[in-house]
Amino acid sequence: MRTQLLTIAIAVVLVSIARADTIVIRDAETGKIVAELDIDAKHPKFVHADKALTIERKAPLMELRARKLLLSKVTFKEASLDEIGNHLRRPTPYVCDPEEPPPAVINFVVIDLAKRNLRIDIHMERVSLYDLLSSLAKKYELTITYDDHAITVTDLKTQ
C-alpha cells in the first residue's frame, strides 16, 4: 500500500514538472480546461476544442517591410553607417511591383556608440533589405533592431 502511494505521489510530481511550461485556459463557469499552450515547445501548438493551431510570432511592421523590400543591387565602398542609412531611407533603391505603390520611406536610426569609424564594403544583388542588414550585422558585428516605427542599426563593439 505504501509503495502504491509513493508511486502515485511521484507520478503527480513528475506530471506537474513536465507541465510547468504549459499554459492552461479554463472555462470560468465550469472550471473545465478548454485550451492548453506548451510555451517552451520547439513548435508550439495551441490546442482548442481538440484542434491544434500553430502559434506564430507577429513580427514588427518594419521587419515585415524589410523582408518584402528587394534591392536589385547594393554596392558600397568605404561607406559609413550614416551613408548607408541615408541611402536605404529613400524609396528609390527598392525594386517594386509595377502594380503596387512605391514603398514608404524606411525610418533608419543609426547609433554609433563604438565610434570605430567603420568603413563598409559590400556588394549584393537581388537581396531583401532584411537579408542585407543581416549580412551587415554579421560581417561588422552590428545589432539590428526592428519595431513598428523604425529599423535601428547599432554599433556597440569597442576596439
Contact between 136 and 142 under an 8 Å Cβ cutoff? The reply is yes
- Which SS3 state, helix, strand or coil, does residue 121 take? strand
pLDDT at residue 96 in the model: 66
Question: Is 84 exposed, middle or buried, given 0-12, 13-18 or 19+ CB atoms closer than 10 A?
Answer: buried
pLDDT single digits (tens) 69-115:
888 899 999 999 999 998 888 877 777 666 666 666 788 999 988 88
Indicate whether this model's pTM tops 0.75: no
- Give every strand in the sheet of 94-95, ordered side by side: 94-95, 70-79, 120-128
Q: What's the CATH fold of domain 61-155? A: Phage tail protein beta-alpha-beta fold (3.55.50)
Where do the domains of the chain lie? Answer: 2-54, 61-155
pLDDT at 21: 61
* pLDDT block averages, 10 residues each, the chain of length 159: 42 41 76 71 63 69 87 92 89 69 78 88 93 94 92 80
Which ranges of the chain would DSSP assign to H, the alpha helix? 2-18, 61-68, 81-89, 129-140
Listed in sequence order, the residues at least 6 apart from 9 whose beta carbon sits closer than 8 Å to its beta carbon are none
**Of the candidates 111, 135, 113, 115, the residue with the CA atom closest to the CA atom of residue 125:** 135
